[in-house]
Structure 1
Amino acid sequence: MADVEGPRHEWRVPWQVTVLKAAGVAVCVGLALIGDRRQLLLAGIAAVGFAVLVFRDLFAPVRLAVGDDGLIVTGLAGKERISWNDVDRIRVDSRRRYGLTTELLEIDAGEQIHLFSRFDLGESVFDVAETLMRLRP
């Protein structure tokens, strides 16, 4: 795929979500410091998990971008360019369980499926799906 001149649209993790994850690190570290050995282990594992998420948000804040010739998906492993020809389907998967509704943007690109929540994109997955469908050639 040729280089994308510049993204026409991009969606990034909201800074508020990153701050909440960082607060999770602080809370877990605090619990680890005041607890017994088991609590130290569990809170330490949770703190490391939150720290990885904060790291990802800081170093790859833009999760999805769209240019003239396709999509750019970004994560910890780097950027992946997906041409429009490789995109088989764009849809929103909405599920209701235990009184909560989960909505994920699903981009099916052959062998890969990319999933994004509103916490990844900073706006409604329905709005992002609509924008992608409008921009898709």
Structure 2
Amino acid sequence: MSDRAGTVLFTVAAVALIALSLHGLLVRPRLTADPRGLRIRTTTGKRDLHWPEVDVRLRTSRRLGRDSATLEIEAGEALFVFGWLELGEDPRDVLETLSGLRP
């Protein structure tokens, strides 16, 4: 006798894991920086931003007893939010690095 519900649940979990793995593989690195500015990569393409047109800030929040930080980059009407998963580093460390690169 087969467990049909278990098979369906396993299949859904496997597909979700594969989709997340592909997303992480294809989209990284999401943010690169140099003294000229930032390059942000999204699923639709790349966007180059010069330092004078961006505002970079750290947003922290506390949920369920855990502190979390996100890096927010605002450029005109666009807002890009990066967490640890997208950056591969603690957003606090990334903000420190970006501050050192910014003229």
Into which bin does the TM-score normalised by the smaller protein fall?
Answer: 0.7 to 0.9
**Residue 71 of structure 1, aligned match among 10, 13, 38:** 38
Rounded Cα–Cα distance in structure 1 between residues aligned with 2:52 and 2:101: 13
**Structure 2 segments unaligned to the other structure (5+ residues):** none
**Could you give the per-residue CA deviations for residues 64-120 of structure 1, whole angstroms, max 9, x where no partner exists?**
100232101112212111111220x21111100111222101111111111111122
Identical residues among aligned pairs (%): 35
When you count strand as a share of all residues, which structure comes out higher?
Answer: 2
Rounded Cα–Cα distance in structure 2 between residues aligned with 1:112 and 1:50: 29
The number of aligned residues is 102
How far the C-alpha of 1:43 sits from its partner, in A, is 5.7
- Aligned residue in 2 for 1:92: 58
Rounded Cα–Cα distance in structure 1 between residues aligned with 2:43 and 2:99: 26
Ranked by relative contact order (alpha carbons within 8 Å, sequence separation 6 or more), the top structure is 1
How far the C-alpha of 1:127 sits from its partner, in A, is 1.0
- Aligned residue in 2 for 1:36: 5
- Aligned residue in 1 for 2:27: 60
> Residue 56 of structure 1 contacts residue 75 of structure 1 at CA under 8 Å; is this kept in 2?
no
- Say what the alpha-carbon RMSD is for the aligned residues: 2.4
Scaled by the length of structure 1, the TM-score of the pair is 0.63
- Aligned residue in 1 for 2:95: 129
1:66 aligned partner, one-letter code? A
